């Protein structure tokens, strides 16, 4: 049922040439994917997809539509050749998948190599109930550091391409979507809860679903909403844009610094066992610190990207 819904949403999104509708459909598509991940017991992934795919992506794509055009030009090309290519590739993939292990098979090769160790040892070795967190932050700490750097670099690339300018709402008190009393009151109350929830996700990620990636995105959402309801200038007074770059760098510094600190204490880079009086305690401290670093960087980069897009003027408005 869910799978059919996903397929239909994708097909409709392809056929529409009103890009606003396509972006909205893509939001629904992301949300359905999140539900699917939840069904597959991938709680952390579902959480991230809901916050990132259905939330931030949609906002960024809508900002892009504001800066470009809403309607796609009529198609002038013949769709037969692309369809043929897609058909052949799809058939090849299906053929390759025919001898894949049965869905959910506990004896599949994926579950044989590293997974048993992570599932059985991580609760005692790392001492964190959420296995996803212990793999992400401890066993796979190097890769996660790399991913955070990719995010940082992507933020830099957006800054180089667009820069942070002052948009049409740069005067204090000028709002993006008009002065609506109900929205102002509701959002003012809501923001406190969003931030509180982000902090909960950040620091409770060791025990339940969540962690730095999700928390950073949710924290950034609070500022995005503030920007939309109370105006760009007010939002930038709360969180000045030149701070965001420093924050993004600081997050990576905190992450890598934790690794260097464990090197100075005589262990390998990012081996947090060195940080506490016993290894498990050290792991706890290390994971807390690097998740905080991840959260800060993700927050700063997402908000920077949002400011870069919201600060652009439409080409026809440039005088």
Sequence-separated (6 or more) residues with CB below 8 Å from residue 109? 101
Question: What is the DSSP-derived secondary structure letter of residue 180?
Answer: -
Contact between 53 and another protein per CB under 8 A: yes
Site for another protein in 294-313 (CB under 8 A): 298, 301-302, 305, 308-309, 312
Stretch that binds another protein, among 58-66, 196-204, 245-253, 271-279 (CB under 8 A): 58-66
In the numeric block, the tokens 């996660």 are attached to 144
Radius of gyration of the chain, Cα coordinates, nearest whole angstrom: 23
Tell me which residue of 39, 61, 206, 235 sits closest to 130, measured CA to CA.
206
Stretch that binds another protein, among 153-161, 225-233, 237-245, 266-274 (CB under 8 A): 153-161
Q: Which stretch binds another protein (CB under 8 A): 44-52, 227-235, 258-266, 278-286?
A: 44-52
Q: Does the footprint of another protein cover residue 77 (CB under 8 A)?
A: yes
Instruction: Give the chain's length.
Output: 319
Return the structure tokens found at 133: 């967190």
Count of Cβ atoms closer than 10 Å to residue 231 Cβ = 21
Which of 155-163, 235-243, 259-267, 282-290 is the region at the interface with another protein (rule: CB under 8 A)?
155-163
Among 166, 183, 208, 247, binds another protein (CB under 8 A): 208
Residue 262 touching another protein (CB under 8 A) = no
Instruction: Considering the complex, state which of residue 42 and residue 280 has its C-beta at the smaller distance from another protein.
Output: 42
According to the binding rule CB under 8 A, does residue 255 interact with another protein? no
Which residues have a Cβ under 8 Å from the Cβ of 307 and sit 6 or more positions away? 164, 227, 236, 241, 244
Contact between 229 and 183 under an 8 Å Cβ cutoff? The reply is yes
Structural tokens at position 28? 């629904």
Output 93 or 181, the one with its CB closest to another protein.
93
**Phi and psi of 150, rounded to 5°?**
-60, -45
| In the complex, minimum distance from the CB of residue 130 to another protein, in angstroms, rounded to a whole number | 5
Instruction: Give min distance, CB of 173 to another protein, in A.
Output: 27
Name which of residues 111 to 150 contact another protein (CB under 8 A): 111, 114-115, 118-119, 123, 129-132, 135-136, 140, 143-144, 147, 150
CB of 87 to another protein, least distance (A): 8
Residue from the set 164, 175, 198, 209 that interacts with another protein by CB under 8 A: 209
Q: How many CB atoms lie within 10 A of CB 155?
A: 22
Q: Give the x-and-dash track for 90-109 against another protein (CB under 8 A).
A: x--xx--x--x-xxxxx-x-
- 280, 239 contact by CB (below 8 A): no
Among the listed ranges 52-60, 174-182, 221-229, 241-249, the one in contact with another protein (CB under 8 A) is: 52-60
Q: How far is the CB of 86 from another protein (least distance, A)?
A: 5
Are 127 and 284 spatial neighbours (Cβ–Cβ below 8 Å)?
yes
Shortest distance (Å) from residue 162 CB to another protein = 5
Structure tokens at 200: 């909960």
Tokens 């056929």, residue located: 15
Size of the site for another protein (CB under 8 A): 98
Consecutive H or E run containing 222: helix 212-230
CB 23 within 8 A of CB 62: yes
Two structure tokens written together for 35: 């539900």
Is 56 or 275 the residue whose CB approaches another protein more closely? 56
Stretch 4-23: interaction string toward another protein, x if CB under 8 A: --xx--xx-xx----x--xx
């Amino acid at each position: 049922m869910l799978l059919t819904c996903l397929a239909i949403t994708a097909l409709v999104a392809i056929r529409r040439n009103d890009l606003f509708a396509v972006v909205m459909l893509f939001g629904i598509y992301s949300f359905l994917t999140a539900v699917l991940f939840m069904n597959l017991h991938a709680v952390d992934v579902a959480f991230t997809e809901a916050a990132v795919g259905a939330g931030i992506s949609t906002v960024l794509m809508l900002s892009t539509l504001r800066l470009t055009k809403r309607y796609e030009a009529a198609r002038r090309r013949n769709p037969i050749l692309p369809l043929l290519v897609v058909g052949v590739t799809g058939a090849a993939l299906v053929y390759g998948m025919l001898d894949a292990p049965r869905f959910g098979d506990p004896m599949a090769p994926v579950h044989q190599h590293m997974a048993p160790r992570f599932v059985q040892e991580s609760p005692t070795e790392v001492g964190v109930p959420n296995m996803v967190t212990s793999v992400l932050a401890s066993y796979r700490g190097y890769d996660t550091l790399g991913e955070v750097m990719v995010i940082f670099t992507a933020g830099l690339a957006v800054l180089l391409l667009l820069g942070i300018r002052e948009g049409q709402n740069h005067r204090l008190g000028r709002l993006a979507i008009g002065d609506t009393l109900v929205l102002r009151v509701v959002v003012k109350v809501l923001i406190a809860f969003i931030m509180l929830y982000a902090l909960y996700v950040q620091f409770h990620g060791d025990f339940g679903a969540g962690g730095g990636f999700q928390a950073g995105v949710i924290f950034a959402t609070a500022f995005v909403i503030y920007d939309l309801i109370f105006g760009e200038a007010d939002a930038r007074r709360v969180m000045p844009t030149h701070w965001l770059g420093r924050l993004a760098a600081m997050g990576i510094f905190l992450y890598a610094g934790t690794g260097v600190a464990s090197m100075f204490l005589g262990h390998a880079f990012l081996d947090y066992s060195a940080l506490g009086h016993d290894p498990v305690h050290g792991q706890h401290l290390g994971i807390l610190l690097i998740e905080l670093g991840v959260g800060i960087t993700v927050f700063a980069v997402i908000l920077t990207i949002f400011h870069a897009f919201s600060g652009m003027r439409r080409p026809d408005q440039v005088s």
